[in-house]
Structure 1
Amino acid sequence: MARILIVLSGVDYWTLTDGSKHPSGYWAEEFVVPHRILTQAGFTVDIAAPEDGKPTADPVSLRPEVAGPEADAFAAYIEDAAEALAHPRTLSDIDTADYDAIFLPGGHGPMEDLAHDPDLGRILIEADAAGKIIAPVCHGPAALLSANLPGGRWLFAGRTLTVFTNEEERLNGTADRAPWLVETVLTARGAVVRSAPETWKANVVVDGNLFSGQNPASSEPLAERVVAALTDR
């Protein structure tokens, strides 16, 4: 059976434009739903984070008014996974050859650490070279920025993907406090961004081995696409 590596941010904050640290981390739905779908498919799923990282769910992502009726279920799932989350594999120790896919949940946390992590950059470069599935969702594509080739060229320049849009960031009330916007930076680095016609709607874009989801609502269909692709293989 396939083996999946879920890479989570290891911080519990997001540094805003004024230098203050806003409580953040990974987005609960974007970890819980894919983890559940991938494990139910019979795949082995490991969790990894930067060295000394402590993956933490963004507290906002567990509020009932945000997460909806599944808020308690998300919190319970995270509690059940507490041991694995407390002791994630360290990115520097990961042998990419051990995995069939790399899944990258969002939340603002990845903008803080994963976007600049050289160990993740190595993993993504090796995974892409081997044709392994790379699947970021929402703010998870920020982590793709870590994959820089010799000479500074970005690995994913020219690739088509989707990401939490600038408009969704604005509607979320965080755009004016963000030190940078993921859609803007990915586009500037050369990505071709394809967004859903309506904000907050599920949207999955596949470009070769790069599978991406736009927002939290895209977590389920993205994970299902990964399962289908690996099953077909």
Structure 2
Amino acid sequence: MTNTNRILIIVTSIGEYEKVGFRTGLWLGELTHFYDVVERAGFTPVIASIDGGYVPIDPESLSHDFLADRGTAKRYADREFMNLLADTKSVAEVDAAEFDAIYLTGGHGVMYDFPRSDRLAELIREFHESGKVVSAVCHGPCGLLGAKLSNGEYLINGKNVTGFSWPEEELAQRERAVPYSLQDELKKRGAEYTVADKPFETYVVEDENLITGQNPGSAAAVADAVVKQLS
């Protein structure tokens, strides 16, 4: 495995729910918290989306409380940084060989386009089978739902993982809006799913080169785990 010092970050291209009129998109802090940690550690993050082009941002992630958390407001005010989300590469345009790790951000938009993307599933398999780090946070593990190994088995079968829990969906008042329960779908594919003692506590699970975080507040901790493995 060649060391490129580059990390591929995948974000959603979906800006609304299918059943209701709520807007959604990338949860901005799940990008910025991860980005800040890996950049400080000397890695170059590269953002790609499922369809390419403009990336919608979940409006709730832009509320004062969330922007104030861990420096997201500074990134939101940074024109150069926000321009990275104005015209992204698509997953079809990126090559796993050019990166050391992949990171799947969340926001409810990923519940729709991450599991439906054959190219994302292929990228995840390529990273995993070449021994590179596969990481995800919050709803980002939706991208693992369609990922299979070369032998046809689900990549997460028998793996220890976490992701946004159903109690957290209820607390976020999205239980009637979401298309499925992420925790149930992970279990259906054979994953050993665990959660923090309390909803929205920071929680990260590592299983060899697979790293998952439970909720938005776990993004920086996922980044720390990724950096540690790459170092």
Give TM-score, length-normalised by structure 1.
0.90
Q: What residue in structure 2 maps to residue 7 of structure 1?
A: 10
Give the superposition deviation at 1:158.
Answer: 1.2
Higher helix proportion (structure 1 or 2): 1
- Do the aligned residues in 2 keep the contact of 1:6 with 1:103 (CA within 8 Å)? yes
- Do the aligned residues in 2 keep the contact of 1:114 with 1:142 (CA within 8 Å)? yes
- What number of residue pairs does the alignment pair up? 227
**d(CA) in 2 for partners of 1:203, 1:31:** 17
**d(CA) in 1 for partners of 2:99, 2:227:** 14
**d(CA) in 2 for partners of 1:102, 1:65:** 28
Give the superposition deviation at 1:54.
Answer: 2.4
**d(CA) in 2 for partners of 1:171, 1:152:** 36
SS of 1:45's equivalent in the other structure is strand
**d(CA) in 2 for partners of 1:191, 1:76:** 39
Q: What residue in structure 1 maps to residue 35 of structure 2?
A: 35
SS of 1:14's equivalent in the other structure is coil
Task: Kindly report the root-mean-square deviation, in angstroms, between the aligned alpha carbons of the 2 structures.
Answer: 1.8
For 2:120, give the aligned amino acid.
L
Equivalent positions of 1:13-162 (< 5 A) are 13-15=16-18, 19-68=19-68, 70=71, 72-77=73-78, 79-149=79-149, 153-162=153-162
Give TM-score, length-normalised by structure 2.
0.91
Alpha-carbon displacement from aligned partner over 1:2-28 (angstroms, at most 9, x marks no partner):
11000011121122xxx3342101111
- Do the aligned residues in 1 keep the contact of 2:52 with 2:91 (CA within 8 Å)? no
Deviates more, 1:105-114 or 1:63-72: 63-72
**d(CA) in 1 for partners of 2:212, 2:127:** 15
SS of 2:145's equivalent in the other structure is helix
- Do the aligned residues in 2 keep the contact of 1:116 with 1:145 (CA within 8 Å)? no
Unaligned runs of 5+ in 1: none
